Structure 1
Amino acid sequence: MRLDHDFHLSLTRLANFTIIEQVLNNLHNLTQLMGLKAVSKHRRMKNVLMEHHQIIQALEEKNPELASQAILNHLEKTKETFIIVDDS
C-alpha cells in the first residue's frame, strides 16, 4: 500500500500538481484500510501493478492519449473494487 501511495504521489509530482498531492496525502489515511481490504480480499494487487506498469509505459512513450486511457482504466477498476468491498 505504501508503494501504491508513493506511485500516485510520484505522478502528481511529475505533473507538478501540488494541490492534488496534498489531497492524495489527506485521503491516504482515510482510504488505506479500505484499500488493504480490497487488495487482499479480491487479489487485486497483481492487476494494480499491471495497471501502474501500463501508465508508466505510456508516460515513457510520451503518449498522453494512452496515458489518459491507462489512468482512467485504473481508476475505473479501483472504483469497481471499492464498490464490491463496500457491498460485502
Structure 2
Amino acid sequence: MKMVTDARMEIVGSQSYSDAFLSQQPGLDQIRVETKKALEQLEVLQRQYAAPVTVHYEVKRSADRGVLQTQIRHRDIKLQPEDQIIVPE
C-alpha cells in the first residue's frame, strides 16, 4: 500500500512542475490525460489494498502447561509465557 501511495504522490508532485518545465512539449495535453488515468488506476489499487478482510481467530487453552494456541488463517501460533511467538513451519 505504501508504494502505491508513494507512486501517487510522486505523480501529483510531478504535475506541479510539468507546466514550468514541459510547457513547450507538443504532447502535454495527452500526457495530462494519461497521468489522470494512471492516478485513477493507482487510487483503485489503494482501495483494493485497504479493503477490509475477514480474519477468523480461535483461541483455546492447551492441555500442556497453560500454553494458548491460536489459529490464524490456518496456521498455529503458540504464545509462550515469555511472550515469544513460535510459528510452526
Bigger relative contact order, structure 1 or 2 (CA pairs below 8 A, ≥6 apart):
1
TM-score, normalized by the shorter chain, greater than 0.5: no
TM-score by length of 2: 0.41
TM-score by length of 1: 0.42
Higher helix share: 1
Structure exhibiting the larger radius of gyration computed from Cα positions:
2
